[in-house]
Structure 1
Amino acid sequence: MNTELTPAPAAAAAIPGRRISVAPMMDWTDRHCRVFHRHISRHTWLYTEMVTTGALVYGDVERHLRFNDEEHPVALQLGGSDPADLATSAKLGEKWGYDEVNLNCGCPSERVQKGAFGACLMAEPQLVADCVKAMRDAVSIDVTVKHRVGIDQVESYDFVRDFVGTVAEAGCRTFIVHARNAILKGLSPKENREVPPLKYEFAYRLKRDFPDFEIIINGGIKTTAEIDLHLAHVDGVMLGREAYHNPYLMADFDQRYYGADTPVPSREQVLEAMLPYIEAQLHQEGGRGLKLNSITRHMLGLMQGLPGARGFRQTLSDAKKLAAGDPRLLLEAAARLRQST
């Protein structure tokens, strides 16, 4: 666990590219989830939940930024719209050893809108450019932007093209494109991930119009066949909910997308690899009230699609067993799965 404010610039050159990544997802992609995903894929790029600048400038920095060294490559996603606060937060992210800082310009929640950041920033591309410049001036790690293809009823490709062009003038070279509009009024965040139609062609056109930029596509992608199709047009693919609910989808990503010659881990090997981590976390964090469920809740989808997966989930969700705080519950769940097959 990174507990000291020490950057790790020497490791950056060895970090693989963002060919495949897991999206920042509130309440899901915390540090325990990221360690779990890392045991499935060594090279897939991981992102934190969105952390607001206010939480870092005025709050508990360690609580929001501490992570485990095994998570690399890992990016910090920031939410905010004040260039100075974003610069301060980016510097903190670099000090804590993150490999990238990403600015959220895609979240449509009312709470985010009240803070004048997230998706509503797409209406102010020059402000986003100012924010990017402030962060780039403050850090040496990559500064990237995650955004939508439009907001509300704006359907023109020109809108997102001009947004990217303006932000690029501040030096941003990586754009993560959630290929849907964000509807700022009338749809919940969940509905905003499902209702607005997908416009993958807009992301493809961005790559054609800005061939020197890294364009990563996000939104509704669920299979390796779909990933392969998108990679014929853009530089990278970011998975969201599918990576969380069906994490073993990522098991062969190192070999398939990064050319690794390491063996694909089995599901049981992933469980066994998590045991020392869970034991260490419960020992280190016991005084802070860490519960076993804080880690195991991210693992419920590991057996997705297998006979007996329901029993596996039931075992890992058993309140009495979880209260005992014994990491070997993972092995008990795996044994129940085997008995069902």
Structure 2
Amino acid sequence: MLLTAAAKTPRLSIAPMMDWTDRHCRFLHRRLSKHTLLYTEMVTSAALVRGKALHLLAYSPEEHPVALQLGGSDPAELAQAAKLGEYAGYCEINLNVGCPSDRVQSGCFGAVLMEQPTLVAECVSAMQAAVSVPVTVKCRIGVDEQDPEEVLPEFLARIVGAGCERVAIHARKAWLQGLSPKENRDIPPLDYDLVMRMKGLFPNLEISINGGITSLAQAQEFLDAGLDGVMIGRAAYHDPAAILCDADPVIFGTGTRVEPEEAVHEMLPYIDAHLTEGGKLGQITRHMLGLFTGRPGARAWRRILSEGAHQPSAGPELVLQALAQIQPSSGLRNAG
């Protein structure tokens, strides 16, 4: 297991996103940044412990530093799942206390756990007792009619008391009834100031801020203001080059900018190996569609991959055909 500075203090991380941050997505993101901490999609403790679905833990060692996010609410089961994650080589185990989907609520985990801070503390304590890697929490500032000013400090105090040393806070409430998961990512207002105040109340707690962050410049402002880390979600997925290509020199102070063209060429052997194992090209290229957002030729890049990746014979040559549509970068980004 590779532990880097990013795994210990993740100044920048990519949020766990269901159906998006799978192992192919993470492999691509790692081509763009060596140090940004990457997270899996949420994996339920029940799937690992009761369902024995250990294939959900599969990843390439080249993805490191990479963290496993778990969903669940049974302390003993989460402890077992955390052990499996540590054994698989993940550098951090994260507990999901932020997802508002109906499926997650029905399983009594995700954002609904904001209403049960004592149970969350028990889960954290059990997981920490089971593993030697960091156990972290990703949460909201509150749910439904809760007052975040009251709820969030109490929630953080409980998990800190259980031994949690790092938390990622999505600076929005979640509405468990009345808003879809997509709407919960946009409609509830952001309260960055509240998250900043939590750093003042809990100076020894490493706090990453999440929600609505769309640029490295914005991320750097939060770091300069005293937060320990910044977690970016959709912006990094839809326009990965804008977030990740400069992340190492700008956020971590090491290395040089990576060009997305380089990343595409580095993906080709990975694509070839995936196809040899019986995989499909589209399983990988769907995560690559936004690589050239704003660049001349980006539309043609997306069209060729979208229309051709499902063909049985599609392989690395289709990716090169699409790449040939991209005009050399002049430092300007336009409609593409």
Q: How does 1:170-189 map to 2 (within 5 A)?
A: 170-189=162-181
Q: How does 1:184-223 map to 2 (within 5 A)?
A: 184-223=176-215
1:127-175 per-position Cα deviation (integer Å, ceiling 9, x unaligned): 0000000000000000000000011022341210100001111100101
For 2:70, the equivalent position in structure 1 comes to 78
For 1:12, the equivalent position in structure 2 comes to 3
Aligned partners of 1:225 and 1:137: how far apart in 2? 38
1:174–1:213 CA contact under 8 A, matched in 2: yes
For 2:35, the equivalent position in structure 1 comes to 43
For 2:305, the equivalent position in structure 1 comes to 316
Aligned partners of 1:151 and 1:14: how far apart in 2? 33
Amino acid of the structure 2 residue aligned with 1:84: A
Q: How does 1:213-252 map to 2 (within 5 A)?
A: 213-231=205-223, 232-249=225-242, 250-252=244-246
1:264 is paired with a residue of what secondary structure? coil
Q: 1:94 to 1:320 in 2, by over 3 A?
A: closer
1:249-284 per-position Cα deviation (integer Å, ceiling 9, x unaligned): 210111111121x3322121110000011111221x
Aligned partners of 1:300 and 1:182: how far apart in 2? 29
2:290 is paired with a residue of what secondary structure? coil
Aligned partners of 1:54 and 1:177: how far apart in 2? 24
For 2:106, the equivalent position in structure 1 comes to 114
1:63-92 per-position Cα deviation (integer Å, ceiling 9, x unaligned): 200100000000000000000100000000
Aligned partners of 1:335 and 1:327: how far apart in 2? 13
TM-score, normalising length from structure 2?
0.94
Aligned partners of 2:303 and 2:148: how far apart in 1? 47
Cα drift, residue 334 of structure 1:
1.0
Aligned partners of 1:326 and 1:312: how far apart in 2? 15
Q: Is there any run of 5+ residues in structure 2 with no aligned partner, and where?
A: 329-334
1:39 is paired with a residue of what secondary structure? helix
Aligned partners of 1:120 and 1:137: how far apart in 2? 24
For 1:4, the equivalent position in structure 2 comes to none
Aligned counterpart in structure 2 of residue 333 of structure 1, from 314, 322, 325: 322
Higher deviation after alignment, 132-141 or 262-271? 262-271
**Is 1:59 aligned to 2:48, yes or no?**
no
Amino acid of the structure 2 residue aligned with 1:278: I
For 1:29, the equivalent position in structure 2 comes to 21
Cα drift, residue 247 of structure 1:
0.2
**Is 1:306 aligned to 2:287, yes or no?**
no
1:50 is paired with a residue of what secondary structure? strand
Q: 1:202 to 1:15 in 2, by over 3 A?
A: closer
For 1:266, the equivalent position in structure 2 comes to 259
> Percent of aligned positions with the same letter in both sequences?
53
1:216 is paired with a residue of what secondary structure? strand
Aligned partners of 2:309 and 2:265: how far apart in 1? 22
Aligned counterpart in structure 2 of residue 153 of structure 1, from 121, 127, 145: 145
Cα drift, residue 224 of structure 1:
1.9
Amino acid of the structure 1 residue aligned with 2:299: R
Aligned counterpart in structure 2 of residue 141 of structure 1, from 111, 126, 133: 133
2:295–2:327 CA contact under 8 A, matched in 1: no
1:77 is paired with a residue of what secondary structure? strand
1:293–1:322 CA contact under 8 A, matched in 2: no
Amino acid of the structure 2 residue aligned with 1:274: M
Aligned partners of 1:303 and 1:320: how far apart in 2? 17
Aligned partners of 1:198 and 1:101: how far apart in 2? 26
Number of corresponding residues: 327
Aligned partners of 1:142 and 1:320: how far apart in 2? 39
Aligned partners of 2:147 and 2:191: how far apart in 1? 10
1:316–1:322 CA contact under 8 A, matched in 2: no
Q: 1:165 to 1:278 in 2, by over 3 A?
A: same
2:308–2:318 CA contact under 8 A, matched in 1: no
1:12 is paired with a residue of what secondary structure? coil
**Is 1:253 aligned to 2:247, yes or no?**
yes
Q: 1:102 to 1:154 in 2, by over 3 A?
A: same
Cα drift, residue 311 of structure 1:
0.6
